[in-house]
Amino acid sequence: MNKSISILSANSIELHYWFNDDSHSMDAVVFNKCEYEFLGIIKEFATKLKIDIEIETEPLENGGLRSWLKFKPKQRSQNINLSKQAFKIALLTYLCTDVIFTPLTTTIQLATTHAVERFFEDPEIQELKKKKEKAELEYDITKIELETKALSNKVDENLIKKKKSNYFESISTYDKVQYVSISITDKNKQLLKENKISRALFPNYILSSNDIEPEITENAVIEIVSPVLKKGKYKWVGIFNGEVIPFNMKSNEFKTLVQTGKIEFKNGSSIICDLITNKILNSEGEERIKGYDVLIVDKYFENNTPIETPEGRRNRHKKEAEKMQMKIDF
């Protein structure tokens, strides 16, 4: 960071695209896609950290291609101490430029935590803390730091990762871009901090799949609406938590019992099972349900009486053994 410039003067982010030729123009679709994704990251941080801002764009400049996003407090916030607002805007610029260059192998929460720590460890910020202790500062830096650390845990992990992935995926499709840098600047466009990355490293920031960690629900109760009575890749239909869901019956053992007539379903029949909810991220980083799988059927109901299946009995014994082992290890 440029120590000749105050960190509290930070109120803009420069996006700089470095080309492999002497041109100063860029495909408009790619450029606007990148800006859109980066704005989505800024919005998520600003919303979760409760920083009320407006974002303005400034004219493009040459040098490859350079653009600026300038932050300022919203008009309705002008009655709040402006120095405090400037402080929070500086914090926001730091977080947005720091976290976007964190590889996807690092969680967003951890990247955010480290960025917050580095910001508040800055010598200038440390000096402000001392001024507050001496009652020379109107706002409490320590209080803002604690609040920021608490709120940063609420940042949407999947949204930030997806937006970041979309950003670098868009750039990677445009062969002319060899580097990209995202920097913190002040109102005079003086550089405070710069993060620069080469094209060869773009893949480290792109998600290989939109699939996310599935949700496992043990002892899920599913009322069977439509069982599959013949062999084939057909989906069952049931009611789970009041919602009709199609699901794949992955338990071959239970399917065989049904298909051979050893288990019969009647109106209102239910099963107790381990249900897997598979999820995927849409283009905006929002979770969507991809499908459901039933891995193990522990019990089924016969005349309202729960009957444990053979695999259910094995599953129960396994879980009991694991709990016992945990007690012994403890």
Domains plus CATH for the chain? 7-205 (no CATH), 211-329 (2.40.50)
Phi and psi, residue 257, nearest 5°: -60, -35
**Alpha helix positions (H), 235-309:** 252-259
pLDDT band, very low/low/confident/very high, at 323 (cuts 50, 70, 90): confident
- Average predicted confidence (pLDDT) for the chain: 90
pLDDT band, very low/low/confident/very high, at 80 (cuts 50, 70, 90): low
Q: From the CB of residue 12, how many other CB atoms can be counted at a distance below 10 Å?
A: 24
> Between these two residues, 77 and 123, which has the higher pLDDT value?
123
At residue 76, the pLDDT reads: 57
At residue 1, the pLDDT reads: 55
At residue 288, the pLDDT reads: 95
What would the pLDDT profile of 24-71 be if each residue is shown by its tens digit?
A: 999 999 999 999 999 999 999 999 999 989 999 988 888 899 999 999
Asked if residue 79 has pLDDT above 60, the reply is: no
Asked if residue 204 has pLDDT above 90, the reply is: yes
Average pLDDT over residues 70-90: 77
Angle between helices 82-99 and 108-120 (to 10 degrees): 130
Phi and psi, residue 14, nearest 5°: -100, 130
What would the pLDDT profile of 107-142 be if each residue is shown by its tens digit?
A: 999 999 999 999 999 998 998 888 877 777 778 888
At residue 4, the pLDDT reads: 64
Asked if residue 289 has pLDDT above 90, the reply is: yes
Q: Which span out of 120-134, 156-170, 228-242 was modeled with the highest average pLDDT?
A: 156-170
The burial class, CB within 10 Å (0-12 / 13-18 / 19+), for 115 is buried
The burial class, CB within 10 Å (0-12 / 13-18 / 19+), for 128 is buried
At residue 321, the pLDDT reads: 86
